[in-house]
Amino acid sequence: MKKTIALTLALLLALLLIGCTAKPQTPATTDTPPKDDAPTATAPAAADEGLNMDELYTVQVFSMTSNYAGIQPGWFAKILKDKFNMEHNIIATNLEGGDSKLATMMASGDLGDLVVFGDNSVDTIKNAIDAGLLLDWNDNDLLQTYGQTFLQEFPEALEYNKAMFGNGEKVYGIGYNVSYDSKGPNEGTDMIWGPYIRWDLYEALGCPEFTTLEEFLPVLKQMQEMCPTSDTGKPTYAFSMWSDWDNTHMMFAKQYGAMHGYNDGDTGNLLFINGAEPKYESFLEENGMYYRSLKLFYDANQMGLVDPDSISQKNADVTAKIADGQVLFSYFSWVTGYNTPTHTAEGKGMYMVPFKNEKVYSYAQSTYGGIRTTCIGAKAKDPVRLMDFLNWVYSDEGTMTYYNGPEGMAWNYGEEGKPELTELGVQIYNNSTTVIPDEWGGGEYEDGRPKFSPGTVTNTTVSKVTGEPFLNKLWTSVLDMDTNPALENWREHMGVRTAKDYFVKNNLLSIYKVPFLPDGARMMSQDLEQKKATIGQIVQEYSWRMVFASSEAEFDSLWSEMRDKAYGLGYQELLDWTVEGAEAEFAAREAGLNQ
Amino acid sequence: MNTTTVVRKATRHGLPDKYKLFLMALPFILLVLVFSYGPLFGWAYAFFDYRPGIPLDAQSFVGLKWFQTLISSPVQRQEVIRVMTNTIVMSLLNIACSVLPVAFAVFLSEIKVGWYKKTVQILTTLPNFISWVLVYSFAYALFNTNNGFINMLMKSLGVLERPINFLASPDHIWLKMCLWHIWKTLGWSSIMYLAAIAGIDQELYEAARIDGAGRFQVIWHITIPGIMETYFVLLLLSIANFISNGMEQYFVFQNPMNRNKIEVLDLYVYNIGLGGGSFSYATAVSILKSIVSLTLLFVANGLSKVIRGNTIL
Amino acid sequence: MAEKIKVNLRKRNKLTAGDIAFNTVNYLIFGLFTLACVFPFYYLFINTISDNQVSALGDVMFWPVGVHLNNYVEVMKIRGIGRAALLSVGRTILGTGLMVFASAACGYLFTKEKMWMRKFWYRFVVVTMYFNAGIIPWYITMNALKLTNNFLAYILPAIVSPYNIILVKTFVESVPASLEESAQLDGAGYGTILVRIMIPLIKPILATIAIFGAVSQWNAFTDTLFLMSDAKYFTLQFLLYRYLNEAASLAALLKSDPTLMANMDLSKIQTPESVRMTVSMVVVLPILFVYPFFQRYFVKGIMIGAVKG
């Protein structure tokens, strides 16, 4: 008996002891910087040594935007290795635990070498700064010595970051999708919103013109009657929606606002804010846009135009339905999976059809950049090399490479220095999973794309070297090449080459520019956040019930019930807070601070 | 003779049995102390506006604010009542169904064909391994209006004219949820009762058979008493979990049409806590749940003493 | 004596009409329920080997369409999956073994009224089932114990499982006290009794908790998620979880980035559903193969008389 006790105890104690001591003995941690290194101690040492690339640098990238985790593969890995003797090991919260992962990383006191923040991360960045987890780019003249691209090309982005996060003094990072100037909309060939409808059916009906969105319904009904079944024989609907992307409201109902120049800035604060003019409107406004949007869907449902599965299906189900041709209408330009080569060759496809009262919400190119911010961790092993790398990535050459691969692989300079796709480039353009030769790093093209950041310089920015946008889709050479019978048909009827051209030409855009708020970012208190979430539940739930209401009376009673509940839960407070922010933005626009 | 040996041994070791037993259990108690009690310092976060990464003394102390949030306004209180109703109904239904695994085990052990029994036992645990997300995919495939099996079947039989979206209907949602729950857990939960049945002394069965007892008499007088203790222990534990019935199942099945009735406490906390990522709020709720669970546990234990003359804790 | 029983049993082997009716109904009900359990699994399986596009439309219901194994091939291509699988097997065996032993020991010891403050310690262990401090304090604790990037993080916290201890304790209590007493009289100490007498007697419940423990070890990925950053500690489940999220997150990314949406070709994106189903198959099939091994411990009843004999 004694032996057993002794054995048990010894075993457990030994295990505990191993557990307590194993870490320092493991040499596996060479990749990560020692945790007790003070940032102030590392930085000057590195800066004194200058740029030294002798050693392979495994950069720990902590990304809240990446949808890839692990070591960066493929052609971009080869560039990293050859040019910077670097590899990227990406930790992606999207794939690895989300907010909780972020929280534990924050609690550990080390966010790695490069940190890329995601959407709505103003609070997160502020917290990280308060917790001393981010490096000031002015430390040891890091920016001055190694970050000339930023100082020369994107000074406003740095100023913006300073004002937002650095008390006007410190620079903690650079926003994503920055531009050299802010002259036009950010989008490529298409705006985010359409509407997009089945062009072939619409054309067969003689292309009736629309003044309002509501006028689409009878035409859609005719289209449905004309084409009652899809490729695989399933019933067609004008609207097939999903609810798994909703947060504080019915996501689909909000899009009505975007077609009239309003959006809620994706904050979920239930307030439409006009992109260009100093106007706003509550989601709960009687007869407001949100109400009219729900009414539109309600009427559509009464006409049998709404897929009854809309409530219970997920986004992926709709994606499949669209490709199969079960959906005739889409608010979004990106829900056009129907436009496969097979369909377009037959002249079928979903293309943009505008209405007279339309104003499409658009995001301007921005010299400040978006809120997704790339930062350097306070405990980064070698900030100099990181800055050197970022400096290149944001340069004209780096941007071309970031979006299109290295020069010579997928593209070359043609006549007059305009970029053209190589043979391989054309293959990649048509199929992003094309395999790349080993000399360029091997693997599929798509896998080899840079994973560390969601976007550096906006891809629609015009390159200073080529005079064409960075995005290959917008190169003159590619626009000529990338066409099909259905598209040609549409182009001919509309008299423009792209949907974006149409909106620009007819001045139907409501362009939103990132405001420069001198007071820095606002944080919502936690209890207001919580109220917002509770109210959002109500609004989302009632919205769907209204769409599927059985009578107009029920529709209206649900609407007033929703308003009562929302106000009872403190909607006024949320509204006041959001309006206050909107007015600060308007004031900033007025003062011309927004470029 | 034997008694004297024991006594002699004990004195030779110099330690009374009671400490010896305790020392044997000590390593395990230490593990519990470190891994289960260690993290409890985090309960302090419930009293702050906690932001990770920043030392607690630099955070703002908010007292009981997060505990009061749940009942902060009349509408909020109504919401909590609605959610608690769902929670309690679901828990009651699930507890009522907790006899099913017992019945499952009892009747399965009546099957004498070895391969059949084994096959049934293995295959009925399958649903336990299918995640709720996939269960929903399957449910969607069965019930959707587009090409769902049920709607197609009813249409071809002429029962239905227009397809019905069963998944969006709030009718009988509690019962439906309970059925899905049974289907998913029945085979798996019966394992421990099968183990308990295997633990019954076979001599008892032999004796009963020799006495000429019928099948149901044997079940009633030997099998059932043999697994009752296990049943009561598990019942007690599930009573303590009364307000925590998990959220995954309800999360995948929820939609704007049925949320009113499907939203149980765990799901509600998830639904409204997600937006702010509020750790303090989640911690406060978790503390409240711990308190309720422990209270229920000890009340149930006390009741068990009164009713069955036997405690479990 | 055993001979005699066998003879007796053979005599009673004749089935009455009631028996036949009972058996028919019993077999039938179990058969139907088994079918209801198997069909969804079969449904998921045929969808993983069917054309993904057809599957996404929900057109695969009873038999596979356009059979291919690409989904599985893709899983096998995940970097480091072999090593991760080995690690998963390792943590499952080691973690389960220790947990079963600990549960047996605790379950046995806590039945001993003599133990110093027994009631207190038992409750001390059991109530932790209802505590949950959240992910951050847990992480801070584990980090302080140097259990980040450390294999022991998979093992140590799982050794003591209050739920399993309760199950074992209940089972031990049902074992006739006379057995243990007789051993004690022979001079055996608690440790010897535990290993020589108790453990063989409580095999059915140990097999049960071994299944529970093994399944939860095999399925665990959150510990890897939060505690491990070094790829050599990645488990199979974690890699699969990440792989699954990769497929799902592209959709999420599109949702959060309108600009990207405007410039993206959606037809290239595969649905996360087939990935999810495949991953599920990869995870469940090994469990199914190991399960029968445990099964033999509780299909057959024990003969306490034989032990006594």
- pLDDT tens digit string along A117-163? 987 788 889 889 999 999 999 998 999 999 999 999 999 999 989 98
pLDDT in tens, B8-55: 444 445 678 889 899 999 999 999 999 999 999 999 988 988 888 888
pLDDT: which is higher, A334 or A286: A286
Residues of A in contact with B27 (CB under 8 A): 8-9, 12-13
Give the percent of chain A with pLDDT over 90.
55
pLDDT in tens, A249-263: 999 999 999 999 999
* Residue of A8, A235, A321 lying closest to B24 (CB–CB): A8
- pLDDT at position A20 is 40
Give the distance between the most distant pair of CA atoms in chain C.
Answer: 84
* Residue A213: domain span: 193-363+487-590
pLDDT confidence bin for B127, thresholds 50/70/90: very high
Cα separation, A274 vs A292, in Å, equals 17
pLDDT in tens, C179-194: 777 777 777 788 888 8
Same domain, yes or no, for A176 and A70? yes
Does the beta-carbon distance from C110 to B226 stay under 8 Å? Answer: no
Residue where one domain finishes, among candidates A400, A417, A445: A400
pLDDT higher than 90, residue A380: yes
- pLDDT at position C15 is 72
Is the CB of residue B278 less than 8 Å from the CB of residue B270?
A: no
Distances (CA, A) of C267 to A319, A555, C46, C151: 9, 37, 23, 42
Cα separation, A539 vs A568, in Å, equals 12
Window C:198-257, CB contacts with B under 8 Å: 202, 204-205, 207-208, 211, 215
Same domain, yes or no, for A350 and A395? no
- How many folded domains does chain A comprise? 3
- pLDDT at position A524 is 81
- pLDDT at position B277 is 55
Cα separation, C55 vs C61, in Å, equals 9
ipTM for the complex shown: 0.86
Q: Which residues contact C181 (CB under 8 A, 6 or more apart)?
A: none
Answer whether residue A18 is part of any domain. no
Q: Please state the rounded mean pLDDT for residues A389-396.
A: 95
Token pair of B237, please? 């534990």
Same domain, yes or no, for A221 and A247? yes
- pLDDT at position A345 is 87
pLDDT in tens, A4-49: 444 444 444 444 434 443 433 333 333 333 334 334 433 444 445 6
Same domain, yes or no, for A325 and A202? yes
- pLDDT at position A519 is 65
pLDDT higher than 90, residue A82: yes
Q: Please state the rounded mean pLDDT for residues B89-117.
A: 92
Is the CB of residue C221 less than 8 Å from the CB of residue A34?
A: no
pLDDT higher than 60, residue B5: no
Is the CB of residue B233 less than 8 Å from the CB of residue B312?
A: yes
Does the beta-carbon distance from B196 to C204 stay under 8 Å? Answer: yes
Give kind and range of the element (H or E) at residue A193. Answer: strand A193-198
pLDDT higher than 60, residue A593: no
Q: Please state the rounded mean pLDDT for residues A311-334.
A: 88
pLDDT: which is higher, A337 or A292: A292
Same domain, yes or no, for A459 and A575? no
Q: Please state the rounded mean pLDDT for residues B80-95.
A: 92
Residue in C closest to A17 by C-alpha: C145
Q: List the one residue out of A339, A188, A509 whose CA is nearest residue C259.
A: A188
Shortest Cα–Cα distance, C37 to chain A (Å): 23
Same domain, yes or no, for A492 and A465? no
- pLDDT at position A364 is 87
Same domain, yes or no, for A197 and A72? no
Q: Please state the rounded mean pLDDT for residues C262-280.
A: 64
Give kind and range of the element (H or E) at residue A413. Answer: strand A411-413
Top mean-pLDDT range of B266-275, C11-20, C72-81, C253-262: C72-81
Residues of B in contact with C118 (CB under 8 A): 21
Residue in C closest to A431 by C-alpha: C268
Q: Please state the rounded mean pLDDT for residues A558-567.
A: 95
pLDDT higher than 90, residue B309: no
Is the CB of residue A436 less than 8 Å from the CB of residue A74?
A: yes
Residue type at position A319: T
> What is the β-pairing status of strands A193-198 and A329-332?
antiparallel
Residues of A in contact with B146 (CB under 8 A): 234-235, 307, 309, 321, 326
Contact B170/C at CB under 8 A:
no
CATH assignment of the domain containing A88: 3.40.190.10
Same domain, yes or no, for A493 and A552? yes
Same domain, yes or no, for A95 and A72? yes
A585-590: long-range contacts (C-beta < 8 A, 24 or more apart)?
A: A585/A273, A585/A515, A585/A517, A586/A278, A588/A515, A588/A516, A588/A517, A588/A518, A589/A278, A589/A513, A589/A515, A590/A278
Answer whether residue A43 is part of any domain. yes
Shortest Cα–Cα distance, C199 to chain B (Å): 12
Residue where one domain finishes, among candidates A479, A502, A522: A479
Indicate the burial class of C202 (C-beta count within 10 angstroms; 0-12, 13-18, 19 or more): buried
Choose, out of C160, C211, C241, C308, the residue to mutate when testing the contact with B (most B CBs < 10 Å): C160
Residues of B in contact with A99 (CB under 8 A): 277
The region of weakest confidence among A44-58, A112-126, C217-231 is A44-58
Does the beta-carbon distance from B195 to C176 stay under 8 Å? Answer: no
* Edge-to-edge strand ranges of the sheet holding A373-376: A70-71, A86-92, A57-63, A114-116, A373-376, A173-175
The region of weakest confidence among A478-492, B7-21, B51-65, C155-169 is B7-21
Distances (CA, A) of C211 to B40, B141, C165: 29, 31, 14
Q: Please state the rounded mean pLDDT for residues C6-14.
A: 51
Q: Please state the rounded mean pLDDT for residues A488-493.
A: 92
Q: List the one residue out of A317, A300, A320 whose CA is nearest residue A309.
A: A317
pLDDT higher than 90, residue C1: no
> What is the β-pairing status of strands A57-63 and A114-116?
parallel
Q: Which residue has the tokens 């049974």?
A: B182
Residue B117 C-alpha from the chain's centroid: 26
Window C:30-89, CB contacts with B under 8 Å: 30-31, 33-34, 36-38, 40-41, 43-44, 57-59, 61
**The CATH number, out of the four listed (3.40.50.1950, 3.40.50.970, 1.10.3720.10, 3.40.50.1820), of the domain defined by the range C70-308:** 1.10.3720.10
Task: For chain A, list the contacting chains (3+ Cβ pairs, <8 Å).
Answer: B, C
Q: List the one residue out of B188, B194, B117 whose CA is nearest residue C31.
A: B117
Helical spans, DSSP H, in A113-235: 122-130, 142-146, 148-153, 155-165, 199-204, 216-226
DSSP string for residues in A7-74 = HHHHHHHHHHHHHHHHHHH-GGGGSSPPTT--HHHHHHHHHHH-----S-EEEEEEESS-S--EE--H
pLDDT higher than 90, residue C260: no
Backbone angles phi, psi at A63, to 5 degrees: -115, 130
Token pair of C14, please? 């004749």
Same domain, yes or no, for A243 and A344? yes
pLDDT higher than 50, residue A574: yes
pLDDT higher than 80, residue C73: yes
Distances (CA, A) of A280 to A513, A540, C115: 15, 20, 72
Mean pLDDT (chain C, rounded)? 83
Going from N- to C-terminal start, the domains of chain C cover 1-68, 70-308
- pLDDT at position C304 is 53
Choose, out of C60, C224, C249, the residue to mutate when testing the contact with A (most A CBs < 10 Å): C249
pLDDT in tens, B134-182: 899 889 888 888 888 888 888 888 877 778 888 888 888 999 999 999 9
Q: Please state the rounded mean pLDDT for residues C12-40.
A: 87
- pLDDT at position A244 is 82
Contact B121/C at CB under 8 A:
yes
Answer whether residue A527 is part of any domain. yes
Residues of C in contact with B42 (CB under 8 A): 133-134, 136-138, 140
pLDDT higher than 50, residue A427: yes
Cα separation, A349 vs A332, in Å, equals 14
Q: Please state the rounded mean pLDDT for residues C220-238.
A: 91
* Residue of A13, A109, A313 lying closest to B144 (CB–CB): A313
Mean pLDDT (chain A, rounded)? 86
Q: Which residues pair with A280 in a beta bridge?
A: A273
Residues of B in contact with C58 (CB under 8 A): 140-141, 144, 146-148
Residues of A in contact with C241 (CB under 8 A): 95
Answer whether residue A17 is part of any domain. no
Indicate the burial class of C225 (C-beta count within 10 angstroms; 0-12, 13-18, 19 or more): buried
Distances (CA, A) of B296 to B263, B266, B279: 22, 18, 26
- pLDDT at position A3 is 47
Answer whether residue A572 is part of any domain. yes
End-to-end CA distance of chain C: 12
pLDDT in tens, B249-277: 998 898 888 888 899 988 888 877 654 45
Give kind and range of the element (H or E) at residue B147. Answer: none
Shortest Cα–Cα distance, C157 to chain A (Å): 10
Sign of CA dihedral A159, A162, A165, A168: negative
Top mean-pLDDT range of A31-35, A543-547, B213-217: A543-547
Same domain, yes or no, for A149 and A43? yes
Residue where one domain finishes, among candidates A479, A498, A515: A479
Same domain, yes or no, for A127 and A211? no
Contact C140/A at CB under 8 A:
yes
Residues of C in contact with B203 (CB under 8 A): 303-305
Token pair of A157, please? 């982005």
